[in-house]
Structure formats: C-alpha cells, structure tokens
Amino acid sequence: MKSTRGRLMFAVSRLGRFGTLLGFALLASGPAGHSQDMPVPVDVQFSILSKILAFDRTLVRKGKTEVVVGILFQNRFRPSVIAKDQFLAAQEGSAAVTVDGMPIRCLAINIDDGDGPLESAPFTDLDALYVAPLRAVSLDAVTALSRAEGIVTLTGVPEYLEQGLAIAIGAKEERPVIIINLPAARGEGAEFSSQLMRVARVVQ
C-alpha cells in the first residue's frame, strides 16, 4: 500500500501540462480534513499552487516577466518558520516550474512584532501571498491589504479560508483537495477559469 506522502505525490504527478484537468478532477474529492494545521506537505502544496495560479486570467493578462509570491511567516513561531523554509526549498528545487511560462520568485515576509510590521511589508511587489501557519495574527489585516493591492492569497491551512483567505490545499482520503473561497478570491481580483472552478471545492 502506498504511503500517505506517496499518494499525495502521485496525485500531483497527474497535474502535468497536458493532463491538468484530469489531475484536478482527482483532487476535487470533497472537504479537507482538519486533523492537523497543514494536512498536505509544503512541497506538494507548492506544486499544486503554482499550477492553480496559471488558471488566474487576471494574473496572466498582466504581461509580467515573473510571478512574485510572498511567504507570510513569523520568525518566532517554529511551525511558521519550517513552512517558510520548506516553501522556499520547494521553489528553489523546482526552477523549471513556471506560471504560464513566467518563472516564480519567492519573497519571505516576517511579520513578528518589531521585526516586520504587516503594514510595512512589500505588498505592492507581490502577485500572490502564501500564508504559513501563524500565531496571534489577525487575518483581517492580511486580507485588507491583499484586497487593496489585488494579491491572491494561498495557504496550506484550510481553516484560514473561514477567516477570509482565497485558496487552500486540504486533503481527504490521502489526496490533496483544492478549496476556493470564491468571495475572497473575487475580492482580491482573481479571475479563475471555468476549468479550475469545475473541479475545485468552491465555498460561497
């Protein structure tokens, strides 16, 4: 029997350029489990999220030469630092991964008190924002800035969608599940294709 990680990686392997819809169909199996903060490994999240961004017509229309993804984390909260480091490692180890031909550049943003207040973070440079597990941080402040700047929010913590983030990667029966908070995504200016919307779990 395949391990949990093996099943997750198999699901991601089905998300090739020419098999995208079939791969997404395998992922759209229902609500994410809540047994842990991030039920899907960060490197798997990165692989899926980079493909999801290619379905955002607004992002593709910007005509940019790269896609900049911020990683919001807390330097004093170990789970947050680990998630940030793993996301960066996944990006660095997947240099060939692009969003509609555009390379991905990641920017770590530490928001611990005194080190990097949220209001001073370089949000204007970002196309997307990955939110790592956080402690004692209001996501209201995060979503207010993401919507003001038109930045789509991503996370591996499914519960954060209930607090206003746009996209989460959850899991059910050892397979990743794409979950989209549609009002939040629209508020951030995202315009996802019908191909993605048909196979994601959409929360109104």
The candidate with the shortest Cα–Cα distance to 184, out of 159, 168, 161, is 161
pLDDT at 141: 86
Residues above pLDDT 70, as percent of the chain: 77
The residue with greater pLDDT, 35 or 170, is 170
Tens-digit pLDDT profile for residues 149-192: 899 999 999 999 999 999 999 998 888 999 999 999 999 999 99
What is residue 118's predicted lDDT score, i.e. its pLDDT?
60
Domain-by-domain residue ranges, the chain? 4-203
The mean pLDDT value for 6-11 works out to 44
pLDDT surpasses 80 at 69: yes
Quick one: average pLDDT of 51-55? 92
Whether the predicted pLDDT of 30 surpasses 50: no
pLDDT at residue 113 in the model:
57
Other C-beta atoms within 10 Å of 168: how many?
29
pTM here is 0.81
What one-letter code names the amino acid at 161?
A: L
Average pLDDT over residues 135-153: 90
> Which tops the pLDDT comparison, 172 or 201?
201
Q: What is the pLDDT of residue 98?
A: 85
Q: Which positions ≥6 away from 189 have C-beta within 8 Å?
A: 58, 147, 150, 152
For the residues 14-36, what does the mean pLDDT come to? Answer: 39
**Mean pLDDT score of the chain:** 80
Q: What is the pLDDT of residue 121?
A: 58
Which class is domain 4-203?
alpha beta
